[in-house]
Amino acid sequence: MMMNAPINAIARRATPEYDDLSRNDAAFLSVDGLCKYYTWRSFRGTRPIKSLDGVTLRVAKGEILGIVGESGCGKSTLAKVITRLTSATAGRVMLDGRDWLEPKGEALRKRRPEVQLVFQDPYGALDPRMSIGTSMLAPLAAHGIGAPETRRDRVLDMLDEVGLDASFFDRLPSQCSGGQLQRVVIGRALLLEPRLLVCDEPTSALDASMRTQILNLLMDLREKRGLTMLMISHDLRVVRHMSDRIAVMYAGKVVEIAPRDRLFDAPAHPYTRALIASALLERGGIDLSRHLREGEVPSPLDMPEGCRFATRCPHAQPDCAQLEPGLKQTEAAHFVRCRHWDSHAALTIPPQV
Amino acid sequence: MTDAMKPLLSVEKLTVTPAAGGAPIIDGLSLSVRKGEVLALVGESGSGKSMTALSITRLLPRGLRVTGGAVRFDGQDVLAMDGAALNRLRGAGIGMLFQQPQAMLDPTARVRTQVAEPLTIGRGMPRKAAFARVIDLMKSVRIPAPEVRAMAYSHELSGGMAQRVMMATALAAEPQLLIADEPTTALDVTVQAQILQLLKAEQARRQFAILLITHDLTVVQAFADRIAVMYAGRIVEEGPADEIMANPRHPYTRALIRCSLLEPEADGRLLAIPGSGARAREIPAGCRFAPRCAVPGGDAALHLACASEEPAFTACGTDHMVRCHACAPHLSNAASAA
Amino acid sequence: MHADATLSAQSAPSRLRRFLSSRHWTFAAGCGIFAVVLAILILGPTVWSLDPVKQNITQRLDAPSAEYWLGTDNLGRDVFARLVEGGRFTVTIAAISVAISVVVGVLIGVLAGRIGGWFEEISMRLVDLLIAIPDTVIAIFLVAVFGPGYVTLIIALTIVGWTPYARLARGLALQINAMDYIRAAEVLGMTRGFVIFRHFIPNLIRPISAVTFLRFGHKLITVGGLSFLGLGVQPPDPDWGLMLAAAQPYLDRAPMLMIAPGLAIFITALSVTWIGHGLEIDRTTPQS
């Protein structure tokens, strides 16, 4: 990881203790203190834009971890770093016990099949001048998967598995609907037999009816192939349906991780409660003042020393702005980044729709 | 009908066709919005809902033309208005929020000039007073540091910020009816909730009507008084929001609600509406949703009716209209089985 | 499972056919005219046994006749033959300089867009510098140093001629680089060669060839102009520009001497401009 010494030092200071979470070292995917700082050059010098600032996660084999957050929380950057589209400034990612951030160049290219990505915009993810069959065959050829004569059949089988008939092999992307193209994107990724599938807003660009088709498809494929998935979305409903566990991100960090049902029954972090209340608006009662104060979201150029949610938190105490809380365990498999979570844990969300 | 009961906006059998020919984009659409009411026009992309909004204020793009029906606002015939009357209508009568804020903001104007326009030009307010009101309006749509932002140029704004500036502009004009086309889609969910809260408060205070065009049923269920569901250029169901959300009758509405709210079915999967609505308008006869509808099942007579005859828009309850053969009273056994 | 199969599986009409049917009518006209011009220039001398240099003093400045289709010039030479021969020079020179410009310019542009860094910075500043200098000025300078001739002419045209291609190619490369399918290629583990030759180049061909044809037309006129000024092709080699220059004193007696090369330049340049324009414009998208 090439970085300036000053940035390295900043990154190291940014990772508080993760004792509780780190104990689970048997995890399939381990992310520790992952930081991604972009540099902002101004006449005053360079400053880091802290897009990811110490993200820690564990994902078990065959599990779907949902990652939810609003714009600027860093979830898309997380997808980019984990799929090695951009370098990490600091931190560690272990995939099934092997260092995933270490390989470079040709060694990395050869290991690429292990982590695959499903994009938000299916029309952008495919070269408009290439037929679907060509787009799907190319990665197989690039990695020498299967004997050349069998590759076309592999692609046809995969098309069938994602619910498209053989005629799609020769079609161009412009002749297909968004939902069909997204199936192609998923199929293309799965042809490489990845160990981890990262889905970055896979249904955000689709209509409601196509969305459910794709989500059903992903669930079926997970069942059949035992896929481990990261499901990144701003849409809490999507994340709620798909995930086994959910991580909530805010201002470059994870603020809460819990099993899905537990997160919705007893959310511990105030931001999680605000998010749930906003996303699952109840009839007639749009009243967010209980969950969010007037305040600014911290800028990634200027992260505060203490808790990043303090400016908007209705339960903020004087010590919250002083020192950043660590991600601590509240119950089995439930972690929250808030020092006072138990004092306002009594507040529950009204029954959701 | 007394004045209080007469709708503020009434669209009757509106038909919009492409100039180059082809199937109508909007086909005999009727809806009405009463004073102070929030009507949500719900549909997926391609249903024609954005075009409906544009037709009402006569802002259709070049290739489309109104070929039938009437639009009446506050008793006046909108389709027959001349240029001057239309100018008076837009802004103070009907305000519009577009999906793309860039379409509405002048890139060479500062934000405060833009937002103040309805006040200074529309109502002749002196600039100082107008600018003070602008700051208030910007606060009400939760634009942080409004004094600073007011001096920015429109092209310097992010998408979400631009949408809020647009909202502030529309509210400045104090319209009787606000047509909002996906006003909060590009915004974060917490911001969306806060803005809807404020919009609702403004609306309750000043009693203007809102025609909300959206595909997001979460927003609809929290915000709307009435819902009209659109499919392939027509309204297929209409009624009070509570009633529609609790007892949707049209198969498309039921499916849409389940698809949008992502409630799992009994087997844990999500309901998926088969096929695609892309070619629905080209169906020559019968119900346009029929190719994707699972309701008729084994009922041959119902299949025949759905394939050959366009269902009429009839009542299936008090103040609840639906366009479906299966929901018509004499075939109610098929509807309850769905 | 095949839920989307209801979207009727239209047979993909051949890409060529779809492309052709979406072109403006001038594209076909341009192709046709240019094909005719090329046929005449390439096959003319062999088919019609033309002699552009044979002088026939007794028949100077004759009007067009059955023997001399476009008449004779002041030295009794066959105008039509000189037109064909001159066209071969003019078109070849223009074509060579365009070809070199395209290859050099696109290469530099794509590398600048893809690699970035100092290479991009230096090359683009160089482009900014050179792009403002007109070919004529360079030609005058080079002729003053090296003497006239068509090699000098080609050098003069290419030395700054590559710059617009570099700029265009860089812009396109940046645009393509931003596309998700390039990201996808990276995540899928495609090789760099694949990305350049299967993603970049095919997506560059259409816009680059459109500009190429447009500039080819421009170059034709420039070659003619430079030769007119005496900076290009030297006598006795014929060239459309030279013929225009030589025709000036005889305008009232034999107007054909000026009309012929003038029209030749005009028609050829127009046809290639139509081709370039037709490659760019899609008839099905509404034009403002």
Same domain, residue pair B212 and B279: no
Q: What are φ and ψ of residue A8, in 5° steps?
A: -55, -45
Q: Which residue of A lies nearest to C181 if distances are taken between CA atoms?
A: A125
Give Dmax over CA atoms of chain C in angstroms: 88
| Alpha-carbon gap, residue B286 to B306, rounded angstroms | 5
pTM of the entire predicted model: 0.81
Task: Return the residue matching tokens 């291609």.
Answer: C165
Same domain, residue pair B191 and B290: no
Token pair belonging to B148 = 């600073």
Helices (H), A204-345: 208-225, 236-242, 260-265, 270-279
| Alpha-carbon gap, residue B79 to B70, rounded angstroms | 7
Domain membership of residue B3 (yes or no) is no
**In this complex, is the C-beta atom of A147 within 8 Å of any C-beta atom belonging to chain B?**
no
CB neighbours of A315 closer than 8 A, spacing ≥ 6? Answer: A270, A340, A343, A344
Per-domain boundaries in chain C = 21-280
Rounded to a whole number of angstroms, the distance between the first and last alpha carbons of chain A is: 46
Tell if the CB–CB gap between A212 and B197 is shorter than 8 Å: no
| CA quadruple B121, B126, B132, B133: dihedral, nearest 10 | -40
CA C227 to chain centre: 17
Same domain, residue pair B202 and B285: no
Write the CA distances from C233 to B247, C241, C245, C266, integer angstroms: 86, 9, 12, 19
Please tell me the total count of domains within chain B.
2
Number of H helices, E strands in chain B: 13, 12
Token pair belonging to C266 = 């005009």
**In this complex, is the C-beta atom of C286 within 8 Å of any C-beta atom belonging to chain B?**
yes
CB B249 within 8 A of CB B324: yes
CB neighbours of B299 closer than 8 A, spacing ≥ 6? Answer: B334
CA B222 to chain centre: 15
Contacts of C12 in chain A (CB under 8 A): 170-172, 175
Tell if the CB–CB gap between B215 and A278 is shorter than 8 Å: no
**In this complex, is the C-beta atom of B45 within 8 Å of any C-beta atom belonging to chain A?**
yes
**In this complex, is the C-beta atom of A156 within 8 Å of any C-beta atom belonging to chain C?**
no
Same domain, residue pair B283 and B203: no
Same domain, residue pair B51 and B156: yes
Domain membership of residue B281 (yes or no) is yes
Interface test with B, best of A217, A255, A278 (most B CBs within 10 A): A278
Same domain, residue pair B227 and B302: no
Find the helix or strand (DSSP H, E) in which A29 lies: strand A29-42
Last residue of a domain, one of B206, B231, B256: B231
What pLDDT tens digit does each residue of chain C (288 aa) get?
Answer: 333 333 333 444 566 776 777 778 888 888 999 999 999 888 887 877 777 777 777 777 777 777 777 788 778 788 888 888 888 888 888 899 999 999 999 989 988 888 788 999 999 999 999 988 887 788 888 888 888 777 888 888 898 889 999 999 999 999 988 899 999 999 999 998 898 888 888 888 888 988 899 889 888 888 888 888 877 777 778 888 888 888 888 888 888 888 888 898 899 999 999 988 888 776 554 443
Other beta carbons within 10 angstroms of residue C244's beta carbon come to 22
CB neighbours of A42 closer than 8 A, spacing ≥ 6? Answer: none
For residue B35, give the CATH number of its domain: 3.40.50.300
Q: Give the pLDDT means over successive 10-residue stretches in chain B (338 positions).
A: 71 90 87 92 86 89 89 89 83 82 80 86 83 88 84 80 85 90 84 82 88 90 91 92 92 90 83 77 83 83 85 88 80 46
Chain B nearest-CA distance from A286, in A, is 6
CB C70 within 8 A of CB C256: yes
Same domain, residue pair B191 and B319: no
Domain membership of residue B213 (yes or no) is yes
pLDDT band at A23 (very low <50, low <70, confident <90, very high): low
- C21-280, what's its fold? MetI-like fold (1.10.3720)
| Alpha-carbon gap, residue C134 to B146, rounded angstroms | 51
Write the CA distances from B330 to B229, B303, B334, integer angstroms: 23, 15, 10
Q: What residue type is A191 in one-letter code?
A: L
- Give tens-digit pLDDT for A121-142: 999 999 998 999 999 999 999 9
Same domain, residue pair B156 and B287: no
pLDDT at A10 over 70: no
Contacts of B63 in chain C (CB under 8 A): 286
Whether residue A314 is preceded by a cis peptide bond, meaning omega within 30 degrees of 0, is no
- Give tens-digit pLDDT for A260-311: 999 999 899 999 999 998 888 766 656 777 788 777 778 888 888 888 888 8
Task: Return the residue matching tokens 């990201």.
Answer: C183
β-strand pairing of A328-331 with A334-336: antiparallel
Same domain, residue pair B166 and B289: no
Chain B nearest-CA distance from C2, in A, is 9
- pLDDT given for residue C252 in this prediction: 85
Residue range of the domain that includes B315: 273-337
Q: Which residue of A lies nearest to C198 if distances are taken between CA atoms?
A: A130
Domain membership of residue B256 (yes or no) is no
Last residue of a domain, one of B180, B202, B231: B231
The residues facing C54 across adjacent strands are none
Same domain, residue pair B169 and B291: no
Overall residue count recorded for chain A in this entry: 353
- pLDDT given for residue A206 in this prediction: 87
CB A278 within 8 A of CB B190: yes
Q: How would you classify residue A233: left for phi > 0, otherwise alpha for psi between -120 and 50, otherwise beta? A: beta
CB C27 within 8 A of CB C278: yes
Domain membership of residue B221 (yes or no) is yes
Task: Return the residue matching tokens 């996808």.
Answer: C184
| Alpha-carbon gap, residue C154 to C98, rounded angstroms | 9
| Alpha-carbon gap, residue A128 to A141, rounded angstroms | 20
β-strand pairing of A328-331 with A115-118: unpaired
Contacts of A183 in chain C (CB under 8 A): 4
Domain membership of residue B241 (yes or no) is no
Same domain, residue pair B298 and B156: no
Give Dmax over CA atoms of chain A in angstroms: 68
CB C162 within 8 A of CB C211: no
Contacts of A139 in chain C (CB under 8 A): 188-190
Same domain, residue pair B290 and B224: no
Q: What residue type is C259 in one-letter code?
A: I
Look at residues A141, B53, A299 and name the one whose alpha carbon lies nearest to residue A154: A141
Give Dmax over CA atoms of chain B in angstroms: 71
Q: Measured between CB atoms, which of A116, A129, A189 is closest to C202?
A: A129
- pLDDT given for residue A9 in this prediction: 54
| Alpha-carbon gap, residue B26 to B189, rounded angstroms | 31
Detail the DSSP E strand segments found in chain B.
9-18, 26-33, 38-42, 64-73, 76-77, 94-97, 177-181, 209-214, 226-231, 234-240, 314-315, 321-322
Question: What percent of chain A clears pLDDT 70, i.e. is strictly above it?
Answer: 88
Domain membership of residue B2 (yes or no) is no
Half-sphere exposure at residue B257, Cβ-oriented, CA atoms within 13 angstroms: 20
Residues A202-221, mean pLDDT to the nearest whole number: 90
Last residue of a domain, one of B209, B231, B253: B231
